[in-house]
Structure 1
Amino acid sequence: MRHVALVTGANHGIGAATAEALAAQGAAVVCAYWTVEEEPDPAVPAAYRTNRAQTADAVVTGIRERGGDAVAVAEDLTDPEAARRLFDRAEAAFGPVDILVNNASGWVQDTFSPATVDQHGRTLQPVTASTWQRQFAVDAMAPALLIAEFARRHAARGAGWGRIVGLTSGGDLGFPQEVSYGAAKAAQNNYTMSAAVELAPLGITANVVHPPVTDTGWVTDEVRAFVERSTAHVHVATPAEVAGVIAYLASDAASLITGNLITLR
């Protein structure tokens, strides 16, 4: 049976690599994305801004050139109706979705402190209703609604196999200088763990992956030096390395792995 995967944030970085890895395993992939244009920040490499502003068309073209099946769908996850539309598009293209990867992020760097830049010189914003809304809409609300839509359709068709994988960041002490990002990811973690328990009778596994520092275009020499000095970090990973773990969790071999937050280092 061919699986159908829905991957959010699939236009670059870990999302794009995950779409490619799942396609290599034989899945048809819906590459959901939303382009983001941001104000230039001297401390953020231009490559990262360019990556976030591109569509998923190149990812789809690469998958098709390698004999796989994929479509790109632009969808704003801050819209509560986005989840329904994405599943409708997926079913129209390939059939029912049985792999859901919640990778997209509305990444905002906000802080409670009076600091205006972080340790790497990147611009910080004070926490406001706007920063909170942007972050939680994409990183908490959208995954919750996508999981709910996934579960509803899965149960309605009497399916017995499904995979949910979320991406997270932050830690036990939150995420200083990216406070709304860390809080929204914590909410997504909780939703995914609840799904692991509630949806287990339907044959669905649900796990969260905490990537290491991953070079999606934002890693500078200073960040690499920080990782080398750190006792908590070990590697600067490539998106493909993280995608390999996600693809494994979405495979038949990972049927006993559920309800886990898997930290990669």
Structure 2
Amino acid sequence: MQNLNGKIAIVTGATRLKGIGAAICKELAAKGAHIFFTYWKTYDVDMPWGVEEEEPANLQKEIRSLGVKCEKIELDLSLEDSAVHLFDEVEDRMGRPDILINNATFSVNDTYETISGEALDKHYAVNVRATTLLSSEFSKRFDKGKGGRVINMSSGQALGKMSGEISYAITKGAVETLTYTLSSVLMEKGITINAVDPGPTDTGWMNDELEAEIAVQFPLGRVGQPKDAARLIAFLASDEAEWITGQIIHSEGGFSK
């Protein structure tokens, strides 16, 4: 059993209770980690799934009920100074973190016919720049000798085409490059960095018809659940995973693209 007692974990993009970010927070907390999560309701309000005003507060209450500390901040990660601001807040309110989960994502469908510079920039700002600067800031401040963990979220671009999500696909592809590019230099500081591709996951964006259509592509006849990704991330955050770094792990339940 992975033991994260006393570790401090940052999880970005945990706005919605049905999301992967919330599942990660709860899984890490259940294993003893203190949680500091970010959220940004402005993005989710404009998405088809939406978000309720009290979801971040309710998530915080649920995490605290597990017997760990939990703090949160509403933060626009597309702003260039957000990484420094976040780590200053975490250190001031909880201490120096051990774990960084770059879960926050910007995603709007586009094709070669509809892509625009503005949309591409929005994807880049969150998916690439924020993930890179957060990873950099975490690593620069980490001075514990070992046990540092950075875990990014991928989407399996290397396994199949995503021609209907060009901006998302190419920026998430850059996250995979970042992951293995940083792996050796961060290992010298006692930090591992890996990326997780959870495959199609029911976080509230699927209607019943779409879920049924996708489920037949899984050997078990079901789509991924947020807890599936959260369990893997909890393992990668643990001491048991200290020899795993620079990996893109496709945890897709046998999904056939």
State whether TM-score is above 0.5. Answer: yes
1:67-216 alignment runs, 5 A limit: 67-113=67-113, 126-154=114-142, 157-172=143-158, 173-216=160-203
Amino acid corresponding to residue 148 of structure 1 in structure 2: S
SS in 1 for 2:50: helix
Secondary structure of 2:141 counterpart: helix
Shift of 1:55: 5.0
Paired position in structure 1 for 2:56? 56
CA contact (8 A) 2:198 2:251 kept: yes
Do the aligned partners of residues 105 and 161 (structure 1) sit closer, same or farther apart at CA in structure 2, a change above 3 Å counting? Answer: same
**Paired amino acid for 2:13:** G
Residue of structure 1 aligned with 2:14, choices 7, 10, 15: 10
Q: Hey, what does 2:255 align to over in structure 1?
A: none
Partners of 1:168 and 1:232 lie apart in 2 by 22
What TM-score comes out, normalization by structure 1 length?
Answer: 0.86
Aligned twin of 2:28: 22
| Structure 1 pair 235–197 and aligned structure 2 pair: CA distance change class (3 A) | farther
Q: 1:2 to 1:94 in 2, by over 3 A?
A: same
Aligned-residue offset at 1:158: 4.9
Matched residues in 1 for 2:174 and 2:35: separation? Answer: 26
Question: Could you list the runs of 5+ residues in structure 2 that have no partner in the other structure?
Answer: 253-257
Q: In the TM superposition, what whole-angstrom CA distance separates every residue of 1:62-88 from its partner, at most 9, and x where no partner exists?
A: 111221211111110111100011111
Partner Cα distance (2:94, 2:112) in 1: 45
1:157-200 Cα deviation digits (max 9, x unpaired):
35322001111114234421111001110111111212212111
Amino acid at match of 1:22: L
TM-score, L = length of structure 2: 0.88
Distance change in 2, residues 1:109/1:49 (3 Å): same
Q: How many correspondences in the alignment?
A: 244
* Equivalent residue, structure 2, for 1:221: 208
Tell whether the 8 Å contact from 2:156 to 2:199 is kept in structure 1 after alignment.
no
- The AA in structure 2 aligned to 1:134 is K
Alpha-carbon distance, 1:229 to partner = 3.8
Q: In 2, are the aligned partners of 1:112 and 1:127 still within 8 Å (CA)?
A: yes
Relative to structure 1, is the Cα distance of residues 130 and 233 closer, same or farther in structure 2, using a 3 angstrom cutoff? farther
Does the CA contact (< 8 Å) of 2:195 and 2:249 recur in 1?
yes
- Per-residue deviation at 1:127? 0.6
Question: In structure 1, the residue corresponding to 2:51 is in which secondary structure?
Answer: helix
Give the conservation status (yes or no) of the 8 Å contact 1:213–1:233: no
My pick for the range that moved more, 67-76 or 230-239, is 230-239
Q: Return the offset for 1:90.
A: 0.7
Distance in 2 (CA, whole Å) between partners of 1:170 and 1:176 is 13
